[in-house]
Every structure is written in structure tokens, then in C-alpha cells.
Amino acid sequence: MSDRLIDVMADKATAESHKREREVARVAKMAAGCEAALLDSLAEVERLSGELVALDGRTCTGREYWRDKDIAGKEAKLYVNHSIDQVCPLHGTPEPGKRIRQYVGTDLSAIREAKEAIEREGTRRRLESELAKITRGLRRCEYQLQEFYGLLGFEVQEDGTAVRRGGGRW
């Protein structure tokens, strides 16, 4: 083999080695950020769960219905109507096949309380949706981490520790 060919092959081997080193460094950097991202997600789950607990029993699943609102000379009255068989934390459970219709009336403080309870229900639904999205993401991360360890020749135990197994998927 000529010296020139040996030099070209050595340069190529060195370049490949540097490329592998960069790839390993990139994966190591990504892995280092995983713990912080997971802890951040778990903190968000705790925060959302706390907000949901604070809303327990203080929300209303019904909708506003105004009676006599458009009739001149009559004072508008607020009712809160619920869907058939819809349970309301504030107003209870209807009889099977029935709905709850709660009279609120014309008292401004009662109207304000009813509207705030309905608004809190919207907040509760938004929080539950956010919590479900994060929970799905964490489950997907768990699956992806198990796949990652499997590719490296490890098996994830029930307690979350990784144990090397023979071979791997290479």
C-alpha cells in the first residue's frame, strides 16, 4: 500500500472517530437534560393537581338560562340548566333520565356566585386537559426510555433501574 493511501485511510478513520465522538457527546447532552425536563413536568403535574383540588366542589357544570330577559317591565331571572343525567358538584345528581334546573333568581350576589362557579368549571376542564396531556407525554417518555435502554442492551426493571442483558439489538 502506498503512503498516500495509508494517509487517506487514516484521515478517514480519524474523521469517523470524531463524528462518533460528536454523536455520543450530543446524546450525552440530551440525556443530561432529560432529568431536568422530567422534574419540570412532574412539578407541573403537582401544580395542576393542587389547582384541581382547590376547585373540588366549587364548580357548576350547568349553563346560564335567563328567563324574562327580553320582556319589558319584567325583571330577568337566572336559572342554571344542566344536561340530562349530568352530575354537578354544586347542585348534586339528578334523578335518572332527568336534568337539574337550579333557580338563581335576581339577587346580584347569587348571580355572580353562579357565574363564577360556571367559569370555574371551564377552568377545571382546562386544567384536566393540560394534566392529561402531560400524563400522556410522561407515559410516552417511559416507553421511549425503555426502547432506548433496550437498544443499548439494557433491560428496565420494575423499580426503574436498568440492568445489562446479553447482546442488545445491534
| pTM recorded for the entire structure | 0.73
Angle, CA of 127, 42 and 137, to the nearest 5°: 70
User: Tell me, what's the pLDDT at 6?
Assistant: 61
The ranges assigned to domains in the chain are: 3-55+128-164, 63-126
- The DSSP call for residue 161 is -
- 162 bridge partner residues: 156
- Residues 74-127 pLDDT 10s: 899 999 999 999 999 999 999 999 999 999 999 999 999 999 999 999 999 999
